[in-house]
Amino acid sequence: MPTDLTIHHQAAGYPVNGKKLKKLSNWLLDQCRVKDYNVSLLLIDDQEITRLNSHYRNNCKPTNVLSFPFAEGADESLATLPVKELGDIIISVETALKESIKYNQTLHERMSWLVIHGMLHLLGYDHERSESDERKMFNKENELLNKLNNYRRTGMTKLAINVDHVATIRQARGIDEPDPVSAASICELAGAAGIVIHLREDRRHIQDRDVYLLRQTIKTKLNLEMGANKDIIKIALEVKPDMITLVPEKRQELTTEGGLDVFSQQKKIGKVIDKMTAASIPVSIFADPDPKQLAAAKEVGATFVELHTGRYCDVIGEGNRDHEFQLLQEAAEAASQMGLRVCAGHGLNYQNTAPIAALDTIEELSIGHAIIARAVFTGLDQAVKEMLAIVRQANCTI
Ligand code: PXP
């Protein structure tokens, strides 16, 4: 890994998220176009940084960050260095914590700024050299901080909520409540980034009326799950959801049982995608974590794949669960490398969602049953917020 993070034992008691900090440092290397270089990040306390400050800078006081470029004193540009080493960034977590309180920031926010500051020193920026150099470094720091804030805003895994089972309860009585249209509004108000519905051929839960009304009322994003069926395709083209997800559909199944076999039906699926593309509707394919299916999804022109998490959720035994997780992790990475946007869903609940939400390449999760089931006891608003908290917490962004 380009960033080698060491937390000195004296700094070990501070609430630093090392994984997140390392990711941030790697992201910075990328932003500064030196991602093939290594950097060493060392976290220490005030006593230790005072010793270093005194020894190397003749200043017997604690400071927040010290940088030691590998090429210091050498008259060489980075490109001519014999090894791809940028140098060391040393941060006193103790000072960082005091500063975070003073500036009303979280410790991670303060540490992020210190890593940026230290990294720029390693890259030759120096605010002590002259006024114009100070301005240059200040501007670069601000540019990176803005990019970082933007990344943090947009890089989070989103939660889309499937409201099919609100309709299931309604259909059990054949009356008009509970209404999935009202449920969708509550989900959106609670923070959901999108609403998912599956208009099945047998209309067992979502009805045509729901699809048309939801199109008019949803403020976030409507994802229509559907089989490649002529009548449903017609409705989708009329309604124009924000995206569709193609799933296999069997009359007898209780719920979708597996990913779509796009590999064996490329011609048929390709035709549906062509129709949707002509109507500017992006298509996602619900796929098992199988490289052959992902490649076929890309081949037929899908924009997204939704990785089927069902086996990971249902499998018994920790070893088997780890294996299924690894398949999903590799599939998410492979799909992203192919240029597909990646979602995931099916069977996710309050216990098993966190590791999936933490996968970098997954943009969005589609979760239904677990949230609607909890809502029976807690109310829908609370059930959505509790799942959102899990997704946000797991989302170890930078
Ligand atoms: N994604 C797809 C493609 C689905 O078919 C379903 C179930 O309708 C879900 C996600 C949501 O699954 P669950 O209801 O188990 O969260």
The residue count of the chain comes to 398
**Is the CB of 142 inside a 6 Å radius of any atom of ligand 1?**
no
Instruction: Compute the distance between CA of residue 232 and CA of residue 238 in angstroms, rounded to an integer.
Output: 10
pLDDT at position 65 over 90? yes
pLDDT at position 74 over 60? no
Contacts of 382 (CB under 8 A, 6+ apart): 374, 375
Confidence class for position 316, pLDDT limits 50, 70, 90: very high
Contacts of 185 (CB under 8 A, 6+ apart): 217
Q: Mean pLDDT throughout 290-294?
A: 97
Report how far ligand 1's centroid is from the alpha carbon of 131 (Å). 58
> What three-state secondary structure class fits 148?
helix
Which one, of 86, 10, 85, 67, lies nearest residue 43 by Cα? Answer: 10
Q: Mean pLDDT throughout 324-328?
A: 97
At residue 77, the pLDDT reads 65
Q: 46 — phi, psi (to 5°)? A: -65, -40
Report how far ligand 1's centroid is from the alpha carbon of 356 (Å). 15
At residue 396, the pLDDT reads 57
| Share above pLDDT 90 across residues of the chain, in percent, rounded to a whole number | 85
In this predicted model, what pLDDT tens digit does every residue of 199-256 receive, in sequence order? 999 999 999 999 999 999 999 999 999 999 999 999 999 999 999 999 998 767 777 7
**Is the CB of 341 inside a 6 Å radius of any atom of ligand 1?**
no
At residue 295, the pLDDT reads 97
Give me the residue label for tokens 């209309």: 203
Max Cα–Cα distance, the chain, nearest Å: 81
Burial of 318 (0-12, 13-18, 19+ CB in 10 A): exposed
At residue 172, the pLDDT reads 96
Which one, of 42, 60, 65, lies nearest residue 50 by Cα? Answer: 60
Residue nearest to atom 11 of ligand 1 (CA): 346
Among the ranges given (128-137, 251-260, 369-378), the one the predictor scored with the smallest mean pLDDT: 251-260
Q: Mean pLDDT throughout 318-325?
A: 96
DSSP per-residue codes, 318-373? HHHHHHHHHHHHHHHHHHHHTT-EEEEESS--TTTHHHHHT-TTEEEEEE-HHHHH
Catalytic site includes residue 198: yes
Decide: 396 and 19 in contact? Cβ < 8 Å: yes
Confidence class for position 394, pLDDT limits 50, 70, 90: confident
pTM confidence score: 0.74
Catalytic residue among 198, 249, 308, 363: 198
Instruction: Compute the distance between CA of residue 263 and CA of residue 69 in angstroms, rounded to an integer.
Output: 52
Stated as kind and residue range, the H or E segment containing 385 is: helix 380-394
Confidence class for position 335, pLDDT limits 50, 70, 90: very high
At residue 73, the pLDDT reads 54
| Share above pLDDT 70 across residues of the chain, in percent, rounded to a whole number | 96
Which one, of 254, 213, 246, lies nearest residue 229 by Cα? Answer: 246
Burial of 172 (0-12, 13-18, 19+ CB in 10 A): exposed
**Other residues' Cβ atoms within 10 Å of the Cβ of residue 175:** 8
Residue nearest to atom 12 of ligand 1 (CA): 346
Domains of the chain in sequence order: 3-154 (3.40.390.30), 158-395 (3.20.20.70)
Confidence class for position 390, pLDDT limits 50, 70, 90: very high
pLDDT at position 76 over 70? no
At residue 250, the pLDDT reads 78
At residue 309, the pLDDT reads 98
Catalytic site includes residue 127: no
Catalytic residue among 121, 205, 308, 346: 346
At residue 243, the pLDDT reads 98
DSSP 8-state class, residue 155: S
Convert 57-123 into a string of H (helix), E (strand) and C (coil).
HCCCCCCCEEEEECCCCCCCCHHHCCCCEEEEEEEEHHHHHHHHHHCCCCHHHHHHHHHHHHHHHHC
The mean pLDDT value of the chain amounts to: 94
Which one, of 90, 103, 110, lies nearest residue 17 by Cα? Answer: 110
At residue 1, the pLDDT reads 65
Report how far ligand 1's centroid is from the alpha carbon of 335 (Å). 20
In this predicted model, what pLDDT tens digit does every residue of 21-56 receive, in sequence order? 999 999 999 999 998 999 999 999 999 999 999 999
Give me the residue label for tokens 């930078």: 398
pLDDT at position 303 over 60? yes
**Is the CB of 122 inside a 6 Å radius of any atom of ligand 1?**
no
Decide: 93 and 379 in contact? Cβ < 8 Å: no
Q: Mean pLDDT throughout 313-319?
A: 95
**Is the CB of 348 inside a 6 Å radius of any atom of ligand 1?**
yes
Sheet containing strand 38-44, strands side by side? 3-7, 38-44, 85-92, 65-69
Report how far ligand 1's centroid is from the alpha carbon of 173 (Å). 23
In this predicted model, what pLDDT tens digit does every residue of 85-135 receive, in sequence order? 999 999 999 999 999 999 999 999 999 999 999 999 999 999 999 999 999
Q: Mean pLDDT throughout 321-333?
A: 96
**Other residues' Cβ atoms within 10 Å of the Cβ of residue 325:** 18
In this predicted model, what pLDDT tens digit does every residue of 137-171 receive, in sequence order? 999 999 999 999 888 777 789 999 999 999 999 99
Q: Which atom of ligand 1 is nearest to the CA of 348?
A: 16
**Other residues' Cβ atoms within 10 Å of the Cβ of residue 99:** 17
